[in-house]
Structure 1
């Protein structure tokens, strides 16, 4: 039993309220994530005189790839009874790999931040923004994955695309 009495919150109603706007919110989160990273990098180059390191780009690209991989699988494929067992297991495997890749991207961003800190870098904002970027990209992917539904629309639940 959870912390709330049963029937206190209508989760189906909450889901139905959020679902039409979730894809748009996920896109906004994704755009904010890349904007924060680009802003921090450009500020560091223009004001701080730092040089661009392509290594700082890697966690964001890996997180973006994980989000794309995550959204190849719908919730219906993971929980479906109409598919055979092998297809359901393949969908679960792809979803698990995407989660591991996204956690690896966040770990890489944290690793780059720690590396910048141990090297005595004055401006740690690029590293911190990389961590924030990776977390926001993964959050946008989870939001999009959780609320899209293949059965609601012919566009696989992506109403804003």
Structure 2
């Protein structure tokens, strides 16, 4: 059953009850990484293996995301500051216990490549937050694999 979440803003990533922050350096330029994140939304399913559906909605102001296992998100894009910042919030999801979710992708030049930093920030019922804390190693692995696959995809273009 889908539920509407609390409409938090981008600053929620700083003070959410649970914050997972992951970072990795890749060879692709920040501009290319930003375009893959913010402009090629359908391409997410090509490099982020957990993503089975990704499509822009509301003329790019939102996204519809499906994950393996049946999780669904309807999102609103909060910030697009090319080439350094892409932030979106989940408005509606079928995840039990979730109350607020924001994801932030920060990009910084490192030599000719990019330092990619992903922050996953959430609030919810105690069982949801407990499960999310336990999920940290899996999210870290998913992030590493996704960013590595994205880097390979961008290099092949």
Which TM-score bucket, shorter chain as reference?
under 0.3
**TM-score of the aligned structures, taking structure 2 as reference length:** 0.22
TM-score, normalising length from structure 1? Answer: 0.22
Select the structure that is richer in helix. 1
Q: Pick 1 or 2: higher relative contact order, CA cutoff 8 A, min separation 6.
A: 1
Which protein has the larger Cα radius of gyration, Structure 1 or Structure 2?
1
Instruction: Looking at secondary structure, tell me which structure has more strand per residue.
Output: 2
